[in-house]
Copies of this chain bind each other. A is one copy, B any other.
């Protein structure tokens, strides 16, 4: 396997009869090269099949044109789709997205936010689950963009998310409009101003406004936002004899698990119990019945996260971007107005 040495900038320079610096100027599109020279260099690049080695730049310091996307899991289809589309979108802009699975392990999240990784990145886009909010503020670390979670006291940290409080209110309005009075909320968490707590806050405010019972039994906490936990928690609620006529699940996986439990117990969805989730994962459209879900404008979310990640630190840093959402009505909620 005689590894034919990779073509370097020097080979190109020699082939084109210029210095490396000139090749570097051409590759980086700096407008200081004569047209004729530029063409000669580009032809040499073409002929030799030169691909710039980013490691040289990385070591030199300065921009790596790479962004880490840290997600808790790829097994959640929402994050899988986000990762795929963000990588493709970044590629179109000439950036690389390095997808990192944290499994919700604090130490992994911490290392990325602090920039203590084996290879440098320009910014970290993270959906944190285990990290204490205070730890997200790292002076001297890479630029950080938060997905979902919100940090009150972190002006340097950008934040991109839908309006979770408002979307929960939208969900409650839909259900109350269909006469539902006993709404179960699945998925609350302890942490400060997270996706889960915001959705719960909106749920609480809207149900109170609607004059529904604030029965504490109707708010259920799960460990993981998975189908399994949704299924088991729903079964537990049914077995405890708690009567509900709608389920508001913190994400689609929980909702799908709840749906399965309801079907197994022979409860009619949506006639007896309606179900709603968040994320609009592809599976939502294919479940039976199909699942009503809050869909974020994913293209906007990705664009905003990349913009925030790539913005030079300055006024844009620390921006709060609210992404539009849409409540997609499907078979798991009653049809009609």
Chain A residues 112 to 168 lying within 8 A of chain B, measured CB to CB, are: 115-120, 139-140, 156
Q: Which B residues touch A81, using CB under 8 A?
A: 74-75
**How many copies of this kind of chain does the complex include?**
2
Query: Which B residue sits closest to A120, measured CB to CB?
Result: B55
Of B55, B101, B140, the residue contacting A3 (CB under 8 A) is B140
Give the chain B neighbours of A93 by CB distance below 8 A: none
Chain A residues within 8 Å of B, Cβ to Cβ: 1-4, 6, 49, 51-56, 58-59, 73-75, 77, 80-81, 83-84, 87-88, 96, 98-101, 103, 111, 115-120, 139-140, 156, 227, 256-257, 260, 263, 282-283, 286-288, 313
Whether A260 lies near B286 (C-beta < 8 A) is yes
**B residues in contact with A260, CB < 8 Å:** 286, 288
With A98-B98, A99-B99, A286-B227 in contact, do A2 and B115 touch (Cβ < 8 Å)? no
Q: Is the CB of B2 within 8 A of A118?
A: no
Q: Which residues of B contact A54 (CB under 8 A)?
A: 118-119
For A256, give its contact among B51, B116, B286 (CB under 8 Å): B286
Known: A51-B116, A74-B83. 18 other contacts (CB 8 A): A1-B313, A2-B140, A49-B116, A51-B111, A51-B117, A53-B118, A53-B120, A54-B119, A55-B120, A56-B59, A75-B81, A77-B77, A77-B80, A83-B101, A87-B100, A88-B101, A96-B118, A283-B283
What's the minimum C-beta distance from A175 to chain B, rounded to whole angstroms? Answer: 23
Expressed in whole angstroms, the Cα–Cα distance for A80 and B74 within the complex equals 5
In angstroms, Cα B260 to Cα A61, docked, is: 53
Nearest chain B residue, comparing its CB with the CB of A231: B286
- The reply to whether A73 and B77 contact each other, CB–CB distance below 8 Å, is no
Q: For residue A227, which residues in chain B have a CB less than 8 angstroms away from its CB? A: 282, 286
For A2, list chain B residues within 8 Å (CB).
139-140
- How distant is A155 from chain B, measured CB to nearest CB, in Å? 12
How far is it, in angstroms, between the C-alpha of A295 and the C-alpha of B313 when the chains are bound?
A: 48
From B52, B80, B256, contact of A80 by CB (8 A): B80
B286 and A156 contacting across the interface, CB-CB below 8 Å = no
- In the assembled complex, the Cα of A80 lies from the Cα of B78 at a distance in Å of 11
In the complex, 10 of the A-B residue pairs with CB atoms within 8 angstroms, ordered by the A residue number, are A1-B156, A3-B140, A52-B118, A53-B119, A54-B119, A55-B120, A56-B59, A98-B98, A227-B286, A260-B286
